[in-house]
Amino acid sequence: MGLNQKQLETKAKIIKIATAMGIDPLFAVAVAMTESSLGLNQKSPTGCVGAFQMSSIAMKDLLQEMKNNNDDIVDIACGLAFLHLLLKRHQTIDSAVSHFCDPKDRDFYIERVKYYMNAFK
């Protein structure tokens, strides 16, 4: 199957993340290909977006599953996705962290995150 460069890049990302999450990467790529032809900027008439055409209802279901069933994979995936979003929006770890926590705890939280980053080196 001939894929363009963007599709190949998306396929590689899906394979990497699916493998890390214990999901068959061929299954994951096949679903994304079916949904969006591996297009990250695809938008359906119903408002679904991205490679997997996730709707707001699907995202709410994902978060509800995490909340109700203490699913560690969903929890970690959602947490990492949110950190990715914050870093993309705010560019620096300090700024991203300050938007991750309660505003009244910002200084403590930033200090604690930096402490643990150094401790885990």
Dig out the tokens for 97 from the structure: 């962290």
Q: Is residue 12 part of a domain?
A: yes
Q: Is residue 121 part of a domain?
A: no
Q: What is the pLDDT of residue 59?
A: 80
Q: Is residue 1 part of a domain?
A: yes
What is the percent of the chain with per-residue pLDDT over 70, rounded to a whole number? 99
What is the total count of domains within the chain?
Answer: 1
Residue 11 confidence (pLDDT) above 80: yes
Q: Is residue 26 part of a domain?
A: yes
User: Stretch 14-37: mean pLDDT, rounded?
Assistant: 88
What is the percent of the chain with per-residue pLDDT over 90, rounded to a whole number? 7
Angstrom distance (rounded) from CA 104 to CA 98: 10
Helix, strand, coil share (%) of the chain residues, nearest 5: 70, 0, 25
**Cα-atom radius of gyration of the chain, to the nearest Å?**
17
Q: Is residue 61 part of a domain?
A: no
CB 100 within 8 A of CB 86: yes
Angstrom distance (rounded) from CA 100 to CA 71: 21
Q: What is the pLDDT of residue 81?
A: 82
Confidence of residue 5 (pLDDT cuts 50, 70, 90): very high
Dig out the tokens for 51 from the structure: 């490679």
CB 62 within 8 A of CB 78: yes
- pLDDT tens per residue across span 59-109: 888 888 777 777 777 777 777 888 888 888 888 888 888 877 777 888 888
Q: Is residue 29 part of a domain?
A: yes
Q: Is residue 18 part of a domain?
A: yes
Q: Is residue 80 part of a domain?
A: no
CB 42 within 8 A of CB 53: yes
Query: Range of 44's domain?
Result: 1-54
